[in-house]
Homo-oligomer: A and B are copies of this chain.
Amino acid sequence: MGKSYSNVSMAIIRRLPKYYEYLKQLIDKNIDRISSKELSRMIGFTPSQIRQDLNKFGGFGQQGYGYNVEVLYGEIEKILGLNQSYSIVVVGAGSLGQGIVNHIDFENCGFDLKALFDIKYKFMGKKIKGAPIFYIDELQKFISENHIDIGVICMPEEFVQDTANKLIESGVSAIWNFSPIDLDAPEGVIVENMNLNNGLLTLSYFVSNSGKDQVK
């Protein structure tokens, strides 16, 4: 499903959500065409980079005119796979897990939250955003019986790799990892790290070194 792209670098992929975000803003403002130059002013990438990026996926623009906002938005939506639906489970229904589930607009991105899992009995029977919390021991059975694409890990360090292994064995194709642990995963399983600790340490570096050096 969808076209196959080659030669798409990580740098480009990480910029795609930004294009999507700003094109949405243009749609909301009823603007129906945009040039790489104008988009550059909004988004902060150079016009040249914008044209290079978009061209990796196909010629969406028109010489002398620019890009049709609606069309481009739709194309990037497809490239990001947002025209499809993915089912998702969250492991760890503690403070962070609940915070993320409540905060992220899963439905709006085509994600279907099926269940949460936790080791604490006090959570059992509770529902978050309509999804039930089950006991952790039922994780593998649940994933095997329901097709699950993505597992989100929001739990304490110690059991993270073990949980990741269970998710992978049961057949998820991606893990969104909020723990500070670097996961081992076989080729073909996608791991996207949201390491909050690393973020905090980077912030510490900048605050500590602000005024002392200029980062290029």
Contact = CB atoms under 8 A, between A and B. Distances in A.
Contacts of A111: 200, 204
A102 B109 contact: no
Interface stretch (A11-19, A63-71, A134-142): A11-19
Contacts of A96: 99-100, 102-103
Interface stretch (A28-36, A115-123, A208-216): A208-216
Interface string A93-130: 01111111011111001110000000000000000000
Given A180-B21, A207-B86, A13 B80 contact: no
Given A201-B20, A202-B192, A215 B8 contact: yes
A9 B80 contact: no
A210 B180 contact: no
B18 A208 contact: no
Contacts of A84: 208
Given A86-B204, A203-B176, A210-B190, A197 B104 contact: yes
A91 interface: no
Contacts of A192: 199, 202-203, 206
Nearest 5 A-B pairs (CB), nearest first?
Answer: A81-B208, A99-B99, A95-B102, A17-B201, A96-B103
